[in-house]
Amino acid sequence: MSIIAVEGVSKFFGPVAAVDDVSLSIEEGEFFALLGPSGSGKTTLLRMLAGFETPSEGRITIDGQDMAGIAPNRRPVNTVFQSYAVFPHMSVADNIGYGLKLDGMGRAERASRVEEMLALVQLEGLGGRKPDQLSGGQRQRVALARALAKRPRVLLLDEPLSALDAKLREAMRFELASLQHQVGITFVMVTHDQDEALAMATRCAVMERGRLVQLATPSDLYEFPNSRFVADFIGSVNMIEGVLKTDKPDEALIATQHLGDVFIDHAVLGNVGGTLWLALRPEKIEMRPRGDGPPPQMEDAPAGLNTVPGRIDHIAYLGSESVFEVELETGLKMRVIRPNLTRWDQEDFAEEQPVWLSWHACAPAVLAG
């Protein structure tokens, strides 16, 4: 059942369409991410869900109720902001119970709800502390506990982890996702951090210049991007221009300057002779040392296709994996990622080394020109 329905919503600030004709629905219990670069309109959309902005056009329904004219505090939502806005002069427990007190909840019931929330965010025993006696991650958990204390139907999160350092952010991703799972409340999170969205969300809406450009699960966004913008925005990608040469029900051939003819194991459904783009992820490229022998033959491609020679230009060793910049004979630089599966993997390749790059017929995503 959908708990949030956004129907043809736009928001204009003067001539700027911050949000441009967006329609989407969010299911009950989802962890939904609004993802996009700076200025793409995700915060404005979140603020319209919260009631801090009014749509210029369209309609927002939450829990079956039209939100037009409904004030923020009367909506079945609660918001956690970027800078964990906890009250510095109040104890942790008073911070968490603040909204409940305003709502007139009795002292005993409030105390037990606060205890429940402290346990939920793993801050048992810290209710008496002041926020400045907590770490950044703990303060963010107080803000979460405060927002969850009123048991909203929907929790809106605006870049909830952005104030935390890298290591803590990563740890909090798991915490936040498991917390959401535990409480079963619908979460809608704004982030510009692709990894964060992929790691936590059940589905992501990608926004570009106010428009919703793709709405999909994290793996579908990564594996089946619907545009060059999404392919490039989510993760890292080699983007190669080509021309569709043949297009059959279960195979296609795309002529490229840099990779020769590329064999694809499905129909592309494009115009033969038209321009297309191949999005090839760095980890989907196989790299082998190049000696005097023949090029490696990919078992799922016709002879000589889907393999090109190159030379390693640069290696970035990142511990768990190494990232290679490989220059092709045409001068194009391709990015390749190899996991370091053993402690000696990084010794297999050196800068300046001639290599073969190969990829499977299913590896590239084919995108419109």
113 Cβ contact partners less than 8 Å away, ≥ 6 residues apart: 97, 100, 105, 149
Gap between the Cα atoms of 35 and 31, Å rounded = 13
200 Cβ contact partners less than 8 Å away, ≥ 6 residues apart: 31, 33, 173, 176, 177, 180, 189
Question: CB of residue 24 vs ligand ATP: minimum separation in angstroms?
Answer: 15
Residue 38 sits in the site that holds ligand ATP (CB under 6 A): yes
Q: Indicate the residue among 77 and 259 with the shorter CB distance to ligand ATP.
A: 77
Q: Indicate the residue among 201 and 254 with the shorter CB distance to ligand ATP.
A: 201
Q: Indicate the residue among 13 and 87 with the shorter CB distance to ligand ATP.
A: 13
- Name which of residues 262 to 301 contact ligand ATP (CB under 6 A): none
Q: Which amino acid is present at 49?
A: L
Q: Indicate the residue among 85 and 102 with the shorter CB distance to ligand ATP.
A: 85
> Of the candidates 22, 33, 40, 216, which one interacts with ligand ATP according to CB under 6 A?
40
Spell out the SS3 assignment of 312-332: EEEEEECCCEEEEEEEECCCC
Piece in contact with ligand ATP (CB under 6 A), picked from 31-39, 171-179, 313-321, 339-347: 31-39
Piece in contact with ligand ATP (CB under 6 A), picked from 41-49, 245-253, 311-319, 333-341: 41-49
Burial code (b: 16+ CB inside 10 Å, e: under 16) for 13-43 equals eeeebbbbebebebeeebbbbbbbeeebbbb
Q: Indicate the residue among 40 and 138 with the shorter CB distance to ligand ATP.
A: 40
The residue among 123, 165, 170 whose CA lies nearest residue 143 is 123
Gap between the Cα atoms of 275 and 261, Å rounded = 14
> Of the candidates 4, 33, 41, 145, which one interacts with ligand ATP according to CB under 6 A?
41
> Of the candidates 4, 10, 32, 36, which one interacts with ligand ATP according to CB under 6 A?
36
Q: Is 72 helix (H, G, I), strand (E, B) or coil?
A: helix
The residue among 31, 293, 5, 343 whose CA lies nearest residue 156 is 31
> Of the candidates 3, 30, 44, 367, which one interacts with ligand ATP according to CB under 6 A?
44
Residue 120 sits in the site that holds ligand ATP (CB under 6 A): no
> Of the candidates 20, 30, 43, 123, which one interacts with ligand ATP according to CB under 6 A?
43
> Of the candidates 18, 117, 147, 179, which one interacts with ligand ATP according to CB under 6 A?
18
Q: Phi and psi for 182 in degrees, rounded to 5? A: -65, -45
Q: Which amino acid is present at 63?
A: D
- Name which of residues 162 to 221 contact ligand ATP (CB under 6 A): 192
Q: Indicate the residue among 138 and 191 with the shorter CB distance to ligand ATP.
A: 191
Residue 16 sits in the site that holds ligand ATP (CB under 6 A): yes
Residues in contact with ligand ATP, counted by CB under 6 A, come to a total of 12
Q: Phi and psi for 254 in degrees, rounded to 5? A: -120, 120
Q: Indicate the residue among 43 and 140 with the shorter CB distance to ligand ATP.
A: 43
Residue 42 sits in the site that holds ligand ATP (CB under 6 A): yes
Question: How many Å is the Cα radius of gyration of the chain?
Answer: 25
Residue 157 sits in the site that holds ligand ATP (CB under 6 A): no
| DSSP E strand boundaries for 2-127 | 2-13, 16-27, 31-35, 57-62, 65-66, 77-80
Contact between 153 and 188 under an 8 Å Cβ cutoff? The reply is no
Q: Indicate the residue among 18 and 200 with the shorter CB distance to ligand ATP.
A: 18
Binding site for ligand ATP (CB under 6 A): 13, 16, 18, 36, 38-44, 192
